[in-house]
Amino acid sequence: MNVDLITRDDLEKFKKELLEEIKRYQQYPRKKGEETRVWLKSYEVRKLLNISAGTLQNLRVNGTLPYNKIGGLMYYRYDDIQKLMDGVSNTK
């Protein structure tokens, strides 16, 4: 039987790599020329669209804006938000 031990240093290295990977995928254009983030949190969507929490909830409930829930957080694809802003329906 082969046993591999994981040390605290191994876990710290993995944590740093994972956080860097997550940050790389969460970039969205805040200013012209910056990278695009794939997923946005609710507060970022509200700020981007200049809408209230209730309006965002209505967009979720009626299927206008698709989302993914991970734990207690809602995540929205930047592409879906862009389509919404361009006037394209995103109903499921």
Query: Domain limits of the chain?
Result: 34-92
| 44 vs 48: CA distance, rounded Å | 6
| 86 vs 16: CA distance, rounded Å | 37
Whole-model pTM: value is 0.57
Instruction: Say what the pLDDT of residue 90 is.
Output: 46
Going by pLDDT thresholds of 50, 70 and 90, the confidence category of residue 9 is very high
Q: Which residues are paired to 76 by β-bridges?
A: 40
87 CB burial (10 A radius; 0-12, 13-18, 19+): exposed
Question: What type of residue sits at position 54?
Answer: G
Instruction: Say what the pLDDT of residue 3 is.
Output: 86
Q: Which CATH architecture has domain 34-92?
A: Orthogonal Bundle (1.10)
Instruction: Say what the pLDDT of residue 84 is.
Output: 85
Instruction: Say what the pLDDT of residue 92 is.
Output: 46
| 44 vs 91: CA distance, rounded Å | 21
The pLDDT tens digits of the residues spanning 15-63 come to 888 887 777 665 555 555 555 678 899 999 998 889 999 999 999 999 9
Selected residue with higher pLDDT from 89 and 12: 12
The pair of structure tokens assigned to 59 is 């967009």
Torsion over CA: 54, 57, 59, 61 (sign): negative
Q: For 71-81, what is the mean pLDDT?
A: 90
